[in-house]
Amino acid sequence: MRVGVPKEVKIHEYRVGLVPGSVRELVLHGHEVVVESGAGAAIGFPDAAYIEAGARIAPDAATVFDQAELIVKVKEPQPFEWARLKPHHVLFTYLHLAPDPAQTKGLMDSGCAAIAYETVTDAQGGLPLLAPMSEVAGRMAIQVGARCLEKEAGGAGILLSGVPGVPPGRVVIIGGGVVGSNAARIANGMRANVTVLDRSARVLQALDIEFNGLVDTVFATRDAVERAVLDADLVIGAVLVPGAAAPRLVARETVARMRPGSVMVDVAIDQGGCFETSRPTTHAEPTYVVDGVVHYCVTNMPGAVARTSAVALNNATLPFTLQIADKGWRRAAAENEHLAAGVNVQAGGVAHPAVAAALGLPHSPLGA
């Protein structure tokens, strides 16, 4: 199969769909790989590294789309990329379609098969292609939140760790999954006062054991979330419903009652956000203020640490990329139910039930 890697085009997105090591594996499997010139240059993967791995360099993205069957990206395609997709294409990337009807329609109209990293599953019920970026985003959430709490960044001027004689900052994390647990590890390591809220007693118990009681765990009722948020210096939104839009867990009225200079980091923004006051931002302009509260809602947070993120993502995606290339997407999905769960759009229909439900579209299951 001919595999194509275009350069990412979102603002300040420097990750790349395939790093040279992954290209070499595909070539060893007998596939041809065409990479847009400069696709990995910003993170230390020059064209020469791709050539050495066995790839062919294309002068532009249009050439990649014209020549490839399988397109491997990182972020969702932009409108001008939808127009380049054809029925013979397989797109393998993050899509986050539930809050994005325009992109969904663009993919449906193209006739391509679109497989989303974020809905591929594993035998343990996890999301293995979302997990590495969730780990990065969770750890980054505390890093960027601490920066936003600095006075010149619009925050209240609070040091999360505190100092002797001054108490540490209060961090509230809504959701104890991969994002939330990684955020808790960094916040706890910084000696902040940390509270994690979740609706799963199993998750709360695991966190209590991991942190030996040093992190407070609270069952996430609406009342508990509201009280915790109003007492927080930094709030991390870390909830996820696979394939569906994120639930709005913090009301606009609650934000208005928070202390001025507090910070909210919405890691769920890719799925629409879990704060009512959230709206997508970019690395170019990452924050805005509502009722005195600083909001950080960047939709591609891991792009800020692009080299680490690209390698971590490839570690997870490569086995699935090889399956698609070796067998074709239909056979690969038929033989691997976890890959099949990643198929969001195919033949002009929505194949993932949660995406269809979120957008009010008919569900067209695979094989129907």
Contacts of residue 285, Cβ cutoff 8 Å, sequence gap at least 6 = none
Locate tokens 């980091």: which residue? 265
Query: Contact at 8 Å (CB) between 350 and 364?
Result: yes
Q: What is the DSSP letter of 228?
A: H
Locate tokens 């994002």: which residue? 179
Residue 265 corresponds to which tokens in the numbers above?
């980091």
Burial class (CB in 10 A: 0-12, 13-18, 19+), 93: buried
DSSP 3-state assignment of 275?
A: strand
Per annotation, catalytic residue among 31, 89, 96, 352: 96
DSSP 3-state assignment of 116?
A: strand
CA distance 241 to 271: 9
Per annotation, catalytic residue among 100, 198, 233, 270: 270
Q: How many angstroms from the chain centroid is the CA of residue 132?
A: 9
Whether 352 is catalytic is no
Q: What angle do CA 120, 122, 123 make, to 5 degrees?
A: 150
Beta-bridge mates of residue 91 = 71, 114
The set of catalytic residues is: 96, 270
